[in-house]
């Protein structure tokens, strides 16, 4: 089952206080970016954020789950928290700040 655009819209809108939230559709599912840094995936209408020590401390009630078959474990964020803008914004900021800056893409020759 592919993720609905409305699910992506709700999650992105409720994290928008963190900065520039964008999404990219990939194989019917979505990657979620904060200021150009991948912080989460939305797969099968479920929200998976990259696991960080700081994120786990902030949201200790998370469940570990892979966003797609063969993927490493991510923090599965309960749907009942998606509407909490303050929580979603803080989680996005904590996660992004804990992740390395993406490497610049090489130019093709």
Residues 47, 67: Cα–Cα separation, whole Å? 8
Residues 85, 13: Cα–Cα separation, whole Å? 8
Residues 76, 91: Cα–Cα separation, whole Å? 12
Is the residue at 24 inside a domain? yes
Number of domains in the chain: 1
Is the residue at 109 inside a domain? no
Residues 43, 91: Cα–Cα separation, whole Å? 18
- Going from the C-alpha of 72 to that of each of 5, 48, 49, 66, 68, the distances in angstroms are 24, 11, 11, 6, 9
Find the domain containing 55 and state its range.
Answer: 5-98
Is the residue at 92 inside a domain? yes
Is the residue at 103 inside a domain? no
pLDDT exceeds 80 at position 103: no
Is the residue at 61 inside a domain? yes
Structure confidence by residue, pLDDT tens digits, 46-78: 999 999 999 999 999 899 999 989 999 999 999
The DSSP bridge pattern shows strands 37-43 and 21-26 to be: unpaired
Is the residue at 48 inside a domain? yes
Entry pTM: 0.89
Q: Is 97 exposed, middle or buried, given 0-12, 13-18 or 19+ CB atoms closer than 10 A?
A: middle
Is the residue at 50 inside a domain? yes
Neighbouring C-beta atoms of residue 106, cutoff 10 Å:
6
Is the residue at 46 inside a domain? yes
Structure confidence by residue, pLDDT tens digits, 83-102: 999 999 999 999 999 998 87
CATH of residue 73: 3.30.1460.30
């Amino acid at each position: 089952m592919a993720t609905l655009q409305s699910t992506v819209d709700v999650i992105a809108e409720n994290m928008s206080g963190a900065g520039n939230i964008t999404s990219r559709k990939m194989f019917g599912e979505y990657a979620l970016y904060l200021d150009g840094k991948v912080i989460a995936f939305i797969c099968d209408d479920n929200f998976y954020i990259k696991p960080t020590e700081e994120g786990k401390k902030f949201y200790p009630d998370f469940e570990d789950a892979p966003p797609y078959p063969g993927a490493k474990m991510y923090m599965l964020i309960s749907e009942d928290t998606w509407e909490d803008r303050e929580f979603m914004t803080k989680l996005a900021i904590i996660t992004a700040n804990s992740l390395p800056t993406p490497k610049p893409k090489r130019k093709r020759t």
